């Protein structure tokens, strides 16, 4: 009897211990994978050309970030003073630049004249031109008030001339008969305006900003030409600058291009949202003459970032206007859709 009781107790204890220990874990086997580990893009060396003035202002944070090692790509950059310098480097046999910021009509010219070897990556600024009135004048309130005036202007054979002529024509004035247009550089025009030698000028920001600031009230912003353009309501936007790249670079370095676009967009956003800090960067980089002027000019630069499929609707109407004024303004023909880099 004792033997039977001991056996029963031993069996019960065994069942109790089994219940406490829980079910036995299932055996697992790690399956080998054939998928390689995806490498994180480490960036590439990119040769960049930036125009001084409004065209280059949006890139200030990108350039300073590259100098400090804060960008994915490393940018070797040149701050150029005119489009011709940039075009020469971009189209050189050895390709001095991979990416460049130029006037929007220059972008179309490059595409047509290189037969597609240069494409548009992004659009960077809208209108930056202003009609200034000196000598404490208040007579100029609209484009029609320019009749009979001598207008000193920058940008002969480029966006500024085409824009001025178009706006005069659309407001009922003949650019060759109703006004006299005298072309000169911004420094000369500003000096004449401040001295009272002339009383009407067309200047881009930040040159216009600087002239008004230095005049201590004798020079005023009479007409914002972006507003005048929008008042035409012809379906076109005033897009004055573009970011372009060599087609071979786009094909061979797509990750570097994608990284640039992300970093440039972030730079434009930073500059717009932080004009005081960005103004100092712009001056330090030689894009504008002083931090104080840059800080005042940034809100007037109409900085934008448009890329991919957003580009054609924004600028195609402007190209049509330029072509109607002078076909050579866009390289002899309207650019086709392949001008736009759409990955």
Question: For 210-265, what is each residue's pLDDT tens digit?
Answer: 999 999 999 999 999 999 999 998 888 999 999 999 999 999 999 999 999 999 99
Task: Please indicate, yes or no, whether residues 77 and 159 belong to a single structural domain of this protein.
Answer: no
Tokens of 277: 């800090």
Position 33 in a domain: no
Give the span between the Cα atoms of 130 and 135, in whole angstroms: 16
Position 16 in a domain: no
Task: Please indicate, yes or no, whether residues 281 and 196 belong to a single structural domain of this protein.
Answer: no
Can you give the CATH number for the domain in which 325 is found?
3.40.190.10
Give the span between the Cα atoms of 222 and 303, in whole angstroms: 21
Q: Please identify, among 209, 232, 255, the residue that sits at the C-terminal boundary of a domain.
A: 232
Kindly list the strands in the beta sheet with 241-246, ordered across the sheet, starting from the edge strand earlier in the chain: 74-80, 45-51, 99-103, 241-246, 118-125, 303-307
User: Which domain covers residue 162, as residue numbers?
Assistant: 129-232
Specify the pLDDT at position 39: 80
DSSP 8-state secondary structure symbol assigned to residue 197:
S
pTM (2 d.p.): 0.86
Task: Please indicate, yes or no, whether residues 121 and 136 belong to a single structural domain of this protein.
Answer: no
Position 35 in a domain: no
Position 24 in a domain: no
Average pLDDT (272-292) is 97
pLDDT in tens, 105-119: 999 999 999 999 999
Position 216 in a domain: yes
Q: Which residues partner with 182 through β-bridges?
A: 152
Task: Please indicate, yes or no, whether residues 273 and 328 belong to a single structural domain of this protein.
Answer: yes
Q: How many domains does the chain have?
A: 2
Position 34 in a domain: no
Task: Please indicate, yes or no, whether residues 52 and 83 belong to a single structural domain of this protein.
Answer: yes
Q: Terminal CA-to-CA distance of the chain, rounded, Å?
A: 89
Task: Please indicate, yes or no, whether residues 170 and 244 belong to a single structural domain of this protein.
Answer: no
Q: Whole-number mean pLDDT of the chain?
A: 91
Furthest CA-CA distance within the chain: 132
State how beta strands 99-103 and 45-51 pair. parallel
**Cα dihedral sign, 81-84-87-89:** negative
Give the span between the Cα atoms of 127 and 69, in whole angstroms: 32
Task: Please indicate, yes or no, whether residues 199 and 322 belong to a single structural domain of this protein.
Answer: no
277: CB partners within 8 A, 6+ apart: none
Cβ–Cβ under 8 Å, residues 163 and 324: no
């Amino acid at each position: 009897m004792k033997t039977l009781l001991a056996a029963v107790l031993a069996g019960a204890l065994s069942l109790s211990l089994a219940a406490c220990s829980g079910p036995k874990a299932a055996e697992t086997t790690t399956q080998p994978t054939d998928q390689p580990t995806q490498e994180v893009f480490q960036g590439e060396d990119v040769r960049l050309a930036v125009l001084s003035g409004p065209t280059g202002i949006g890139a200030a944070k990108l350039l300073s970030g590259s100098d400090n090692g804060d960008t994915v790509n490393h940018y070797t950059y040149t701050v150029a003073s005119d489009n011709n310098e940039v075009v020469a480097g971009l189209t050189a046999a050895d390709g001095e630049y991979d990416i460049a910021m130029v006037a929007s009509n220059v972008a179309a010219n490059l595409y047509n004249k290189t037969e597609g070897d240069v494409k548009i990556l992004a659009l960077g600024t809208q209108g930056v031109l202003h009609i200034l009135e000196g000598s404490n004048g208040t007579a100029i309130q609209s484009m029609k008030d320019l009749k009979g005036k001598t207008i000193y202007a920058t940008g002969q054979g480029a966006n500024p001339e085409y824009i001025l002529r178009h706006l005069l024509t659309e407001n009922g004035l003949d650019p060759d008969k109703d006004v006299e247009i005298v072309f000169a550089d911004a420094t000369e025009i500003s000096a004449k305006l401040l001295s009272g030698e002339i009383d009407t000028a067309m200047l881009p920001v930040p040159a216009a900003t600087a002239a008004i600031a230095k005049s201590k009230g004798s020079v005023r912003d009479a007409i914002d030409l972006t507003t005048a353009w929008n008042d035409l309501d012809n379906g076109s936007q005033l897009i004055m600058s573009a970011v372009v790249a060599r087609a071979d670079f786009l094909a061979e370095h797509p990750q570097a291009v994608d990284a640039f676009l992300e970093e440039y967009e972030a730079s434009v956003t930073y500059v717009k949202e932080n004009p005081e800090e960005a103004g100092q960067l712009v001056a330090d980089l030689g894009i504008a003459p002083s931090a104080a002027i840059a800080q005042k000019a940034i809100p007037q630069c109409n900085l934008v970032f448009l890329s991919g499929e957003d580009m054609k609707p924004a600028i195609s109407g402007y190209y049509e206007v330029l072509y109607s004024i002078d076909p050579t303004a866009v390289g002899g023909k309207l650019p086709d859709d392949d001008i736009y880099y759409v990955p």
